[in-house]
Copies of this chain bind each other. A is one copy, B any other.
Amino acid sequence: MPGATEQKIIDAAVRLFASQGYDATSVQEIVTAAEVTKGALYHYFRAKDDLLFEIYRLLITAQSADMDRIIELGLSSADTVREILVSLVVSTAERVDETAVFVREMHRLDEARMTEFRAERRRYHETFLGVIEKGQADGEFSSAVPADTVVRIAFGVVNQLPVWYRPDGPKPPARLAGEIADFVLAGLR
């Protein structure tokens, strides 16, 4: 539960990292945009890359929770896949900047944090994979295309979303999410 100053710093960092990149954004720019000073930033964060870590943590925690919640509903495989995709696309559209930073700058994490994140991503990845494999085993989905490729395709669109999605574009996020889910499910028949 970050305080007001902490939150202002993170918000400014996300916005600047998303538009210019991590290295191209100086600490001075961040504090100026957040209307605080360097003293305040280094009071709350030990180093610049703690900001990156915090951004990732917030994003991945929220997404993991969403997926777990959906799976516990115990829907059919098709409905589970649809719900996961829709929730993922909608929540990604709501947080395009965070996602853009995450996708572009993940490799800048140090060894320890990288390992931690890879484990979390892997868990996330394999949960979704499990849903599709179950649907294939039950005969609800076709087995023509291996499940891992389907997962790659699904996450591919989502992670590229910050590249082309614009909040003021013609299609609202919910409609986009529906179209993407339709297409993936069509491919699974």
Chain A residues close to B by CB (< 8 Å): 19-24, 104-105, 107-108, 142, 144-146, 149-150, 152-153, 155-161, 163-164, 176, 179-180, 182-184, 186-189
Taking CB atoms, residues of chain B closer than 8 Å to A160 are 152, 155-156, 159-160
Taking CB atoms, residues of chain B closer than 8 Å to A158 are 156
Partner among B159, B182, B184 whose Cβ is within 8 Å of the Cβ of A144: B182
CB distance from A81 to the nearest CB of B (A): 13
Inter-chain contact B145/A186, CB cutoff 8 Å = yes
Inter-chain contact B149/A179, CB cutoff 8 Å = yes
Residue of B nearest to A170 (CB): B148
Closest 3 CB pairs of A and B: A23-B23, A187-B187, A156-B157
Bound-state CA distance A182–B180 (Å) is 17
CB distance from A173 to the nearest CB of B (A): 13
Bound-state CA distance A107–B107 (Å) is 17
CB distance from A128 to the nearest CB of B (A): 14
Taking CB atoms, residues of chain B closer than 8 Å to A22 are 23
Bound-state CA distance A187–B144 (Å) is 12
Q: Write 14 A-B pairs (CB below 8 A) sorted by A numbering.
A: A19-B107, A104-B104, A142-B186, A145-B183, A149-B180, A152-B157, A152-B160, A153-B156, A156-B158, A156-B161, A159-B160, A186-B187, A186-B188, A186-B189
Taking CB atoms, residues of chain B closer than 8 Å to A179 are 145-146, 149
